[in-house]
Structure formats: structure tokens, C-alpha cells
Amino acid sequence: MTDQHLRLAATRQSGWQLENIVGDLRVARSEWRAQHGRPREPGGRELPSRKVMGEVVEALAGALFPMRLGPPDLRQESEDFYVGHTLDAALNALLQQVCLELGHAARPGARPSQEIERQARRIVQDFALTLPGLRRLLDDDVMAAFRGDPAARSVDEVLLCYPGIIAVIHHRIAHHLYHAGLPLLARIIAELAHSATGIDIHPGAQIGKSFFIDHGTGVVIGETAVIGDRVRIYQAVTLGAKRFEADDTGQLLKGQPRHPIVEDDVVIYAGATILGRITIGAGSTIGGNVWLTRSVPAGSNVSQANLQNQVGNVG
């Protein structure tokens, strides 16, 4: 008797009516595939793996910060070997996931797999070359957190403990992949950070250097948000859309600029909700729990008490 026959025999004896359930699930899958024009095709997995991408990001973080986010027994004299070995494994794993996304996007096979692999290799190579610059950009983010939080005792504490830094590491990686034409992989990385930290940053959001999210839980930053340099935001801040534009058929338009522009040196305190394609001028302070849907000029100090006066003359 084959292994498959043994497994089927075991399911019949389990008492859960698994044979019928498995058959009904097969029918449900077939119906869904037929509805969406996805006939069953032979072969393995066709979509990227959330689990693999989590491992890739963890490895990349270790390679970027080996003595703090790498293995506990790592010694400085072995750093280069660890970084090289870890990057080789992580980039090869990423390559496979990139191939899966590109192949899925090209379905039903408009391009040969060799072309997809060549494109994937170019994307991963370009990404690998950005890693030194990414490390320096993250160093600025870590320093912004250290300088912006009087409770921070060291930059090491910031990197090891602050959820805002975890979210920003994920975002810097995801943002590159998003603009490399890999929106699904980028979104997986963003949602891994969201699950771990409660901070929801769409990978399309543009974020300048020295960015600091303090506490962080409940922060939402939309796809088309643009954030300048040295911006600091606190928990439960939303940079969201005021409305969603639709076409003549009622379908939502994708990618339209609909989230705020936050210029340099802005501070946004806890619970503030800023909606629509408005501009928060450089050096402004937005107070806690403010609801803002109109632009404010540079140097504004907006609170619940003075909001009407602050925005009354803004067109």
C-alpha cells in the first residue's frame, strides 16, 4: 500500500469526515480559480511566502547590524564572514521570492522563465548595492530616536528595543522593493512590521532621513504620504486619505496622491489625524488628538484649542 493510500485510510478512521471535507475544499478552490480565470496548473508554489520573507528581513537586519541584531555568539573578528555568509543566503532566498512575484504578475506565461530570472537577478543585485547606504540612513534614524527621547539611555537600547526602529528597518527595505516593481513582497514586509509593532506604514510612503516614531502603536502612514527630514511622530497618529476617488464605473482609482505631505522638522503628537493631500509646513507642531484636513504654513503650532485660528486663513 502506498503512502497516499495509508494517509487516506487514516483519514477515514479519524471520525472527522476528512475525505468529504477535503473533496469539498477542492471544489471550492476550483470554483474560485474558475471565477478569477486561474485554471489549475502543474508545479509548485506560485506566490511568495510570508514566512520566507520574514526570515529574509531578519537576516538582512542581522547583516546590517551584526553585533546588535546578529547571532548572540558573534565576535567582531568574525563580522565580515558572518555578514557575507548571511547576505549570500538572504539574497538567494530573496531572489526566489522575486521570481515568484514576477512570474505571478506575468501569468499566464507571457515571458519565459529565464527572462523572469534575469530580471529578478538585476533587481536583487541593485538592492544589494544599496545596503551600505541603507545602513547609514538607518543610523540617522537610530540617532534621531536617541536624541528625541529623553528616556533612551543608549543607541543600542534604541536599536534593540524600540518598535519604531523595527518598523523603519522594515519600511526602508520594503520601500526599495516597492519601487523596484515588487509591490506584493514590499507589502508582505510592511505587514510583518505591522503585526510585530502595531505600526502600519505602506511601503509606497516616502520618508526622509532621521525619522523617529516614538511609542508607535496605532500609527498609520498611507501609500502616497511624503515625509521630510527630521520628522517625529507619536503613537496613534494617522496620515491618511480624506476620500477615495473613483472612475466612471465606480472602481477606486489606484495610486492617486491622497495622503499628506509633511515637510522637514515637523512634530506630530499622539492621536493626531491628518487627512487628505494637504501640506504640513516645515517646523510645525501638531498637537495631540488634532483632526486636520487643511494645509498649515511653516512654523504653525496647531492644537485643538487654536485649530480654527491656525487654519482659518489657509486656502
Q: What percent of the chain has pLDDT over 70?
A: 88
Where does residue 125 rank: exposed (0-12), middle (13-18), buried (19+ CB within 10 A)?
exposed
8 has pLDDT over 50: yes
Phi (first) and psi of residue 252, to 5 degrees: -65, 135
User: Rounded distance, CA 186 to CA 177, Å?
Assistant: 6
**Residue 15 confidence (pLDDT) above 80:** no
> Start-end ranges of CATH 1.10.3130.10 in the chain?
44-199
Mean confidence (pLDDT) of the chain: 91
User: Using one digit for the tens of pLDDT, what is the confidence trace for 76-99?
Assistant: 999 999 999 999 999 999 999 999
Q: Summarize the confidence of residues 240-268 as an average pLDDT.
A: 85
CATH 2.160.10.10 domain extents, the chain: 205-315
What average pLDDT does range 297-303 have in this prediction? 96
Spatial CA neighbour of 94 closest among 135, 144, 131: 131
Q: What is the pLDDT of residues 95-148, one digit of tens each?
A: 999 999 999 888 754 455 889 999 999 999 999 999 999 999 999 999 999 999
Report helix angle 131-148 to 50-64, nearest 10.
80
CA distance 64 to 73: 16
In whole angstroms, what is the distance from residue 232 CA to residue 268 CA?
6
Query: Does CATH number 1.10.3130.10 belong to domain 44-199?
Result: yes
CATH architecture of 205-315: 3 Solenoid (2.160)
* The pLDDT of residue 2 is above 80: no
